[in-house]
Every structure is written in structure tokens, then in C-alpha cells.
Structure 1
Amino acid sequence: MSANQQPQANANSGLARVLDGIEKVGNKLPDPAILFLSLMVVVWIVSALLSFVSFSEIDPRTGEAVVIHNQLTAESLTNFLTGMVTTFTSFAPLGVVLVAMLGVGVAEHSGFINTALKKMLKVTPLKLLTPAVVIVGILSHTATDAGYVVVIPLSGVIFYAVGRHPIAGIMAAFAGVSGGFCANFIPSAIDPLLQSFTQAAAQTLDPTVQLNPLNNWFFAASSTLPIVAIIWYLTDKIVEPRLNKTTPLNDDIDAPAFEEISEKENKAFRLASLAMLAAMGLVVGLALPEGSTLRDETGSLTNFTSPLMQAIVPLIFIFFVIPGVVFGYANGTFKSSADIITSMSKAMEGMAAYIVMAFFCALFIAAFAQSDLGVLLAVKGANFLQSLGMPAGVTIVGLVFLVGFVNLFMGSASAKWALIGPVLVPMLMALNISPDLAQAAYRIGDSSTNIITPLMPYFPLVVVYCQKYVKSTGIGTLIAAMLPYSIALLIAWTAWLLIYWTIGLPLGLGASYTYGL
């Protein structure tokens, strides 16, 4: 071994030991369902203790001091019991996952997805498989949470089919979908959603402030370049080599076989693809007219409140069911309507563990929100950042890391920004930092640590995907695998913003870096 190789080997060995240690400790955590149940009890106890404490921090929603609400009072416990069913059934990720997976189940069990993947593999050079998976994951943000239920599991299938470690494919896709959540070439519903909170926060200091819904679009689009490069390097050079050495696959993996495509399958795939394109064309045709019912009151198709954005998950269901059914009948996979329902049932069988975890996750998140512990945590962190009085660049870096930390406890991008935005945005405006720049920094912190917190609603689902290939996969396994991605994204993406800012490239439409009172 040369002198240059020795330090690299030692560094890799050191990193491996750190990750192994994290995995060992993390896997000692209880099952995700029990973890969420335990955390809910902790929230109850902490809320009871802190409910007697008077805080000086101001709740931005009310303008009054933050008050922690005791979740162990008779009234709170009664509300907990009477609202338990509603809390579970109204848990947004649950509906997104189940509805989308019903459609995916039809497309998968008919053979449509299997054939599509085989065709994709034929045109994607093996050397570019990882970046292709990451790019698809980033683009999936346009369809809200579709990446979690479509791109991530399919990436594992693709990697397994070409002889690579399937967990590496899942990790790469997870990093692209969740770690790169706020980056995209194509504007998505998250853009106008965050802008609305930013503008409202800015108007508490200056009622005349108006922001463009795509005020971060250019920066978000440019961010895909470093994100793809980072995830590509980490997957191929660090994560997958470690997985190959330490994480053997199950002996009974139930994965699709990738034989050569028959002429019958080719014909069925063409018919199914045409049917899917026709369905998409119909939606486009319905959306284009100015008076379309898919537009909101302002005529927008991309606002978070527009019917088109609200219908994204049902459209995913439709866009998978239609080609799945057409392919199934054309290829002979489906003989009757009963086969279609059976395929949906099989898809739900794989979701049983996730449904159990979602139940306890929903209860924990509801208790955390009702106690207002999240408000206290967010406001205290924001006030601490404000008290530092550092230069603008350092302040922006501090904002990124603050949001990244808070994100470990509050997964919702809009909820976090609604809470800390009214404190941070006016504070930064007072430092001559524009709301547009503050929002861009927020998006980096909000994305980078998504992939290392088991409190993120889709985190347990990714564990389930991994268990298909490695039954021993636990929370610690996933955290250990994703930690290098999270750290690299947090540092490199922040550096990208500072470089972007220094050069003076536009953040987005009508955006600026500075604000003058």
C-alpha cells in the first residue's frame, strides 16, 4: 500500500467504526412503534412538569408568552381517548401511502413496473445508475410525497436486479427524495406553500412586502447539481462498499425476476404506456383552460391550495392503476376484475407493519403539537440565534444548522416555518437580510436532516423497504447509513448557498439577498 493509500484506508476504517457504533447503539432502540409510544409518554410527562413554568418566549401565533399545556390532566386524557380514532385516520402520511400503494400494487403485480424497470435498465448505463436514481428522486418532489412510496422501493429493486446491494439503492433514493427535498428543477407545491409563510412573517415588520411564489426556484434548481454529486459519491464509494462487507441479504428475497422482455410484454407495455399518456393528456387538457376547475380562485395550478395540487396523490393512484390494468389484461396477468383487487390486497399486506407504526406515530405527533413543546423548542432556538449578533453570512449558517436541529423533532416543513418564521424572518430583515434568502437557508436545514430522524413520518416506511432485503434492518441501521449523507448535504449545500450568494446569482423570480428598512 502506498503512502497516499494508507491515510485513506485509515480514514475509511475510522468512519466505518463510527458508523458501526452508531448502528449498534441505534439498533438497541425499541421497535419504531414502541419508540413513538414511549416518546408520547415522555411528552406527557415533560408537558406536565413544564406546565407550571412561566416562559418569557413569545408564541408567534398568539403574540403572548409560550404556555406548555399539560397532557396529563383529566381533560387532556379524555380528549386523547375520544379523539384517538380521528387522530389516526386523519394522519396525512397514512392516506398518502395507502392510496398511492393501492395503485402501485396494481401496476407492480400486473408486471407493468417490472417491464418498465427492465426497459429502463437497458437504456441506463450501469455507471450512471446511482445519479439516475437520485435525479428521479429529486424530480419526484413535484408529485408531493410520491418519492417515498414509489421511487425509494423501486430503486432497491433496480439495484438488486443488476447485482448491486439493494439497500444502497434505497439509501441513494432516500437521500435524493428526502435529503434533497427542497431542491428541484421543476417548481412544486412546496414553493408557494413556504413563500406564503415567509411573506406573512415579513409583513409583521413591513406590511408592504410581497414575495414571488417562485422566489427560490433558481437556487433550488441549481442545488440539484451538488446534491446529485454528493449522493453519487457517497453511495458508490462509502455506503455500498460498507454494506457489501457488513450487511448480507436475506436468503428468501421476494424480488421481481428480470428476464428478457417477450414480444407479448412489449405489446402490452406499449398499450399500457399509451393508456397512461392518454390519462395524463386528459388531465393536462382539463387543467389548461383559464376557467378550469383544477385551478384555484386566483387561476393558479401550482398554489398549494389549487385542486390540481390537492389531487396529486389520487392522480398517482390513477396513473398507476390505468397502465397496470391495461398491461395486466393485454399480457394475460389479469383474467378478471378479482385479480385487480387481489393485487391491491397484496400491496396492503406489505403495509401492515407501517400501519401499526403510523398509528403510534400519529398519536405522538398529536401530543407533541398539543403540548406546545415544539413551539418552545423552536422559539428558544430562534431567540438564541438572534442574540448572537453575528455577521450576515455566519447568521445564515447558524439559521441552517438551527433548522437542521429543530427538524429532528418537527418533521413538517410548513409547520416549522410557520412557528419560527415569524421570529427569524423579521429578525433577519432587521439585519438587512431578505426574506427570500432566509427562506433559502431554511430549506437547506429542513431537507438535510430529514434522513436521520426516525420521527419523520416516512422514516419507518423506509425501514420496512430495507427489511425486504435485510430482515435485521433497524432504526440504527438506517440512521448509520444515512448519517454521512446528512452531514455532507448540510455542509456542502450551505457552502453552495454562500457561494451562490457571493457570486450574486438570482435566488428566484423577483428575489433579492438584501432588505432595506
Structure 2
Amino acid sequence: MVATTQSPAASSRRWARLLNAIERIGNRLPDPFMLFVMLALVVLVASVFFAASGASVVLPATGETQPIRSLVSGEGIRFILESMLTNFTGFAPLGLVLSMMLGIGLAEKIGLLDVLIRRTVMSAPRQLVTYTVAFTGIMMNVASDASLILLPPLAAMVYHTLGRHPVAGLALGFASAGAGFTANLLIVGTDALLSGISTEAARLIDPNMVVTPVDNWYFNCLSVVVLTVLAAQISERITEPRLGRYDGDVEKVEHDEPSNAGRGLRNAGIAALLYVGGLATLIFWPDSPLRNDNGGLIPSPFLSGIVPIILFFFITVSVSYGVTTGKIKSSRDISEKMADAMRDLGGYIVLIFAASQFIAWFGWTHIGSWLAVNGAEVLTSINFTGLPVIICYIVFTAFMNLLIFSGSAKWALEAPIFVPLFMQLGYHPGFIQMAYRVADSSTNIISPLNPYMVVVLTFIRKYDREAGLGTLISLMLPYSLAFLVVWIIMLVSFYLLGLPFGPGVYGLM
């Protein structure tokens, strides 16, 4: 018998068919706004059947019996109409994200983030360029989705200048910014957004529960270090050897950087140090108003007020840079740049209107509590309550990310079900949120529905005209799988060792 080996062409065809199938399935899903509208209608119909059957749930924490309430009733119709505006304006993530974007958006619009990133990468020693690109990409989620567009072409240019394959730099930039999206040494908009949704979901079980933007901070800080090394090693040991030597040429990319950008960064750095120093002084001052009644920081007004503290930090640094470089000539320029950043959030605000109604309806009917309590009882009865159920949830969410790209939309869908469910099993909602984040973040870069993949593919084709979606996926797959596996190991280790994921937040409540 003659041994045969599978041809690369046949393997590529099967891979392409798989990707095409995923893309077709994903494209059949409705727009996220309409998806929430449809889910709200599903809740409406389900509430009728649950209420008609006399279904109810006994809350383990209080022993209170809650009947399932129908939205198609006098009480339900009044709730829908009277609460619609407050559901929207009172939705926790809305105010958090809008507030954060006032500061982060100002930094982006005056060019501070762009210049800071470029200077950081270009000034790195040659032997540390790989690690610098990886670290910068992971840290760049402070600029939200802008990181997926800013860093890849810049990293490609740096690699090409150093005589290395530019596609390797581009791949590393996209992978670290995309798959490492949830990690950061700073508290950023993603933390505020997800914690707000988590709080809304957790209150289906505990009305007093609050998930703060710092609840995953410790885990995220360690993730930055681990993933920086991991991404750099994948790039140097897998990506670059596979790509080989690059002999092509490419036009130089010019960047519009103010002539006094260096002085602007210096002044911004001084402002940052003064702000942090002043904040630290206020925190450790005797009888500080930022500490709790016992003098501690967990919980404290400092942690509960972390969003406005971060907002003022970005405004302070951005104004210092903008005034120095001439990007800000008057107070009017500040408000105009902020308004420009707010315009970019139009789609998010529309999405939140539908999501807030779905979550409010879901909570009012008590269907969420019924699913959580009964689901927890089923899992307990089959003894499926430990870490295996968390790992299965991570794998499930990682797969769902191939079909629903938006992390906030997906968490808004999952949180009202899984947060109460796992809380009934004794897990802290901050831990559940972290499990979601590692799954969602690691597979961002292989989702065919990622709108930035088309942009990055365009960048790649500047260096390889034959590149297609399969090329990009094949470059991203090692990063995606490695990030997911290492993150699961870290999550399990934190849980088993009893390490905090954030201030006062452990695996179990």
C-alpha cells in the first residue's frame, strides 16, 4: 500500500469551506439591534405561557416566591410603556461608556493616542521590538476598536524598516490588539461597559450586588505580562519562520504628527504624574473622603468613583497635550473634540436602547430568576457544578464569538442568563464576567464577522497581493488558540489558589 499525504490545496479547500459555512451562518443572523428586538418579543411570548401555567420560583436567598408575570396583561403593558425611557436612561453601561468616551475620545481626536503608540514602538530597541509591539497592542484597548486599525500597519512598517517580514509585524499587531483586547494595566472603557451589564444581570438575584470596573483588574494586569511574552514567542517561533524572508517593497507611509509632539508628550506625562500624585496623596491622607468608614479601600468611594477619576485623568492629560501642540486653542476645541467622539457612539446608543428593554423585560417577568434557580438545581443534581461547567461556558462563548462579534452585545445577551445561573451555584459575578472576557477576547481575531478583518486584509495585500481571508485566519489561529488555552489555565489557577481577580473579588462569593 502506497502511503499518501494530503495535498496543501485539498486542506486549504476544506478550511475555506469551513470558513465559508461559518460566514454564511453568521450572515443569516439579524443586525444586533433587531436581534434584541426579537429576543424581547420572545420574552413577551414566553411570559404569557409561563404565567398561564402558573410557574413561579422560590429565591434561595430570601425564600420569597416570585410568580412569572405576563407582559401581555394590564400590569405588563403599563410596565412596558411607563418604564421604556427609564430602562434606557437608567441602563448602567450607558452612562459609564459615555462618560469614559468623553475622556478617551478627546485623547484620540487630538492625536495623543496615535503619537504615543507610534513613539513607543519606533523607539524600542531592535531586540525588543517584538515584545514592544505585543505589549502596545494589548495595552491599546484604551483606544477601543481604534487599536485594531492604528497598530497593524504601523507594526508592519516597523518590521519592514528593520528588514523583517512586514506581514509578521502586522499579524502580531492585529493579534495582540484583538485577542488581547480585554487585558490592560489601566481601567478602560471595556471594564466600565461590561461591569455595568454584569451589575444589571447580578441584580436579578441580589438587588444590592455591584460589579465595579476594577473587579477584574488584578487578573488583567497579570494577563498583560503573560500575553506579551506569549504573543512575542508565537510571532518569533511560528509566524516569522512560516512567512520566511520578505523581498518585496512598499511605499512609505507618512503620518501627520505635529512638529512639537515630543514636547506635547512630555507635558502630558508631567500632567499625568501630577494627577496620579495628587490622587495618591488624597487617598492616603488621614481621614481621606476616598476611603470607607474603616479607613479601607475595599469597598470605598475611590473604587465606586473610579469612572469619573479615570475620566478626569484622560481630560487632564489630553488638554495638556492639546494645548502644547496647538490642537486645542480654546475651551471650545475641547467640547468639539468630545462631541466628535460622541458621534462615533451613535450605533452603540441605538443598540443599547433595544438591549435595555430586553434586559428590563427579562428581569420584570422573573423568567431570568426561574431559569437561574432551576438551571442551578439541574446542574447540582447531576453534580456538574465545579470548574468543568465554567470551562464549558468559556468554550461555548468562544464559539459564539464566531457568530456574534460584538462583545458588549453578546455579554448583554448572555449575562442575564449565565450571571444569575452561576451566582446560584455560588460563583461571584466578577469571576463569571472574567470567564466571559477571556473567551470573547481570544477568538476576536478569527471571527469572520469581525469588521476589522477586511481592513487588516487590505493592509496585508499591500505586501502579498494573493492573500485572502484564509491567509489572515491561518496567521491568527495560533495566537487565538494559545491565548484561549493559557487564559483558561490562568483562570483555573486563580480559582484554585484563591487569588483575587480584583479588589475583594474571588471565584466564590
For normalisation by structure 1, the TM-score amounts to 0.66
Whole-Å separation in 1 of the counterparts to 2:41 and 2:264 = 53
Contact kept, 8 Å, 1:182 with 1:443, in 2: the verdict is no
Instruction: Note the C-alpha offset of 1:441.
Output: 7.5
Match of 1:285 in 2: 281
Match of 1:424 in 2: 425
Deviations 1:57-82 (A, max 9, x none): 64334435563221222222222222
Match of 2:147 in 1: 154
Kindly provide the amino acid, as one letter, of the partner of residue 265 in structure 1: A
Whole-Å separation in 2 of the counterparts to 1:439 and 1:352 = 29
The alignment partner of 2:329 has SS state of: coil
Whole-Å separation in 1 of the counterparts to 2:478 and 2:98 = 30
Contact kept, 8 Å, 2:48 with 2:71, in 1: the verdict is yes
Contact kept, 8 Å, 2:297 with 2:303, in 1: the verdict is yes
Whole-Å separation in 1 of the counterparts to 2:137 and 2:421 = 30
Q: Does 1:341 align with 2:335?
A: yes
Whole-Å separation in 1 of the counterparts to 2:452 and 2:493 = 37
Residue 375 to residue 23, structure 1, CA distance change in 2 (3 Å): farther
Instruction: Note the C-alpha offset of 1:235.
Output: 9.3
Instruction: Note the C-alpha offset of 1:44.
Output: 0.9
Residue 494 to residue 467, structure 1, CA distance change in 2 (3 Å): closer
Deviations 1:82-120 (A, max 9, x none): 222211111222112211222223222323223212211
Residue 513 to residue 337, structure 1, CA distance change in 2 (3 Å): closer
Contact kept, 8 Å, 2:372 with 2:424, in 1: the verdict is no
Whole-Å separation in 2 of the counterparts to 1:283 and 1:484 = 41
Match of 1:301 in 2: 297
Match of 2:18 in 1: 18
Whole-Å separation in 1 of the counterparts to 2:41 and 2:172 = 35
Equivalence map 1:318-357=2 (5 Å): 318-357=312-351
Contact kept, 8 Å, 2:56 with 2:68, in 1: the verdict is no
Kindly provide the amino acid, as one letter, of the partner of residue 339 in structure 1: D
Instruction: Note the C-alpha offset of 1:294.
Output: 0.9
Instruction: Note the C-alpha offset of 1:326.
Output: 2.1
Whole-Å separation in 1 of the counterparts to 2:388 and 2:50 = 31
Whole-Å separation in 2 of the counterparts to 1:230 and 1:16 = 27
Residue 160 to residue 41, structure 1, CA distance change in 2 (3 Å): farther
Instruction: Note the C-alpha offset of 1:469.
Output: 7.9
Contact kept, 8 Å, 1:60 with 1:419, in 2: the verdict is no
Contact kept, 8 Å, 2:101 with 2:342, in 1: the verdict is yes
Whole-Å separation in 2 of the counterparts to 1:273 and 1:100 = 20
Contact kept, 8 Å, 2:107 with 2:113, in 1: the verdict is yes
Contact kept, 8 Å, 2:152 with 2:456, in 1: the verdict is no
Equivalence map 1:67-466=2 (5 Å): 67-124=67-124, 126-128=129-131, 131-133=134-136, 135-136=138-139, 147=141, 150-163=143-156, 172-178=176-182, 258-259=255-256, 262=259, 264-303=260-299, 306-389=300-383, 395-402=386-393, 411=412, 419-420=420-421, 423-425=424-426, 442=432, 445-451=435-441
Q: CA RMSD in A?
A: 5.1
Contact kept, 8 Å, 2:359 with 2:416, in 1: the verdict is no
Instruction: Note the C-alpha offset of 1:301.
Output: 2.3
Kindly provide the amino acid, as one letter, of the partner of residue 19 in structure 2: L
Instruction: Note the C-alpha offset of 1:282.
Output: 1.1
Match of 1:428 in 2: none
The alignment partner of 1:51 has SS state of: helix
Match of 1:253 in 2: none
Instruction: Note the C-alpha offset of 1:28.
Output: 2.5
Deviations 1:430-479 (A, max 9, x none): xxxxx8xx99975664334445999xxxx9xx9788898899xxxxxxxx
Whole-Å separation in 1 of the counterparts to 2:176 and 2:93 = 21
Whole-Å separation in 2 of the counterparts to 1:507 and 1:182 = 18
Instruction: Note the C-alpha offset of 1:4.
Output: 12
Kindly provide the amino acid, as one letter, of the partner of residue 173 in structure 1: A
Contact kept, 8 Å, 1:152 with 1:170, in 2: the verdict is no
The alignment partner of 2:264 has SS state of: helix
Residue 412 to residue 354, structure 1, CA distance change in 2 (3 Å): closer
Kindly provide the amino acid, as one letter, of the partner of residue 376 in structure 1: W
Residue 510 to residue 94, structure 1, CA distance change in 2 (3 Å): closer
* Paired positions, count: 433
Deviations 1:474-509 (A, max 9, x none): xxxxxx9999988766655445566788xx856469
Q: Which runs of 5+ in 1 are unaligned?
A: 138-146, 202-213, 241-255, 426-434, 472-479
Contact kept, 8 Å, 1:276 with 1:323, in 2: the verdict is yes
Contact kept, 8 Å, 1:219 with 1:507, in 2: the verdict is no
The alignment partner of 2:327 has SS state of: coil
Percent identity over paired residues: 28
Contact kept, 8 Å, 1:172 with 1:235, in 2: the verdict is no
Residue 122 to residue 218, structure 1, CA distance change in 2 (3 Å): closer
Residue 351 to residue 135, structure 1, CA distance change in 2 (3 Å): closer
Contact kept, 8 Å, 1:51 with 1:70, in 2: the verdict is yes
Kindly provide the amino acid, as one letter, of the partner of residue 118 in structure 2: K
Whole-Å separation in 2 of the counterparts to 1:440 and 1:93 = 15
The alignment partner of 2:255 has SS state of: coil
Residue 320 to residue 352, structure 1, CA distance change in 2 (3 Å): same
Whole-Å separation in 2 of the counterparts to 1:97 and 1:441 = 21
Q: Which runs of 5+ in 2 are unaligned?
A: 157-166, 207-213, 241-252, 401-409, 459-472
Match of 1:211 in 2: none
Deviations 1:160-213 (A, max 9, x none): 3334698985664353344x69999xxx998xx99xx9xx99xxxxxxxxxxxx
Structure of higher RCO (CA pairs closer than 8 Å, 6+ residues apart)? 1
Kindly provide the amino acid, as one letter, of the partner of residue 396 in structure 1: L
Contact kept, 8 Å, 2:172 with 2:231, in 1: the verdict is no
Whole-Å separation in 1 of the counterparts to 2:280 and 2:293 = 18
Instruction: Note the C-alpha offset of 1:399.
Output: 3.9
Contact kept, 8 Å, 1:40 with 1:363, in 2: the verdict is yes
Contact kept, 8 Å, 1:404 with 1:448, in 2: the verdict is no
Deviations 1:389-431 (A, max 9, x none): 37xxx94212432577599876599977873456423xxxxxx
Whole-Å separation in 2 of the counterparts to 1:513 and 1:377 = 22
Deviations 1:269-313 (A, max 9, x none): 21122122212211111111241111122322243xx22122222
Whole-Å separation in 2 of the counterparts to 1:343 and 1:223 = 32
Whole-Å separation in 2 of the counterparts to 1:322 and 1:36 = 37
